Amino acid sequence: MLTGIDPILTGRLLDELDRLGHGDELVIADANYPAHSIGVPVIELPLIDSPRVTKAIRSVIPPDDYEAESVLLMTSEDAERPDVQHQLIAAAAVAPDRVGELERFAFYERANTARLVIRTGEPRSYGNLILRKGIVRWNG
């Protein structure tokens, strides 16, 4: 265990996050997401919901602030955004204007270009997001 590192961030997950470069995207997926179908590394966190995983990941990587959106969500079929997505936005800690939405199949197509998928135990529909990694700034 490491001091100052969220304990759900396993060694393998930290290694995969460290390998991401500026602009690389990762998917934080709910339990129903077809994570193993796109051929990139998949980290399984089956007992943890997606907002919790998002918050932990954001504790070690910044969102990209060069592109229009740092976070992408799947557009819900309902008129209103599901509660889980509000929780994901809060956990991602990005400004509302940095959050975009993609229609379901466009989301899957975009997710297919991701470098990493983290499949959570999130049981709620639309508990997925794509996060684009920003630049890690050194304070040294």
Q: Which positions are annotated as active-site residues?
A: 22
On whether the CB atoms of residues 55 and 91 are closer than 8 A, the answer is yes
What 3-state class would DSSP assign to 105? helix
Neighbours of 112 (CB within 10 A): 12
Residue appearing with tokens 């920003």:
134
Give the containing element (helix H, strand E) for 129: strand 129-132
Any alpha helices (H) in 1-140, and if so which ranges?
11-19, 50-58, 83-92, 104-111
Phi and psi angles of residue 54, each rounded to the nearest 5 degrees, phi first: -60, -45
- Count of alpha carbons within 13 Å of 1, Cβ hemisphere only? 5
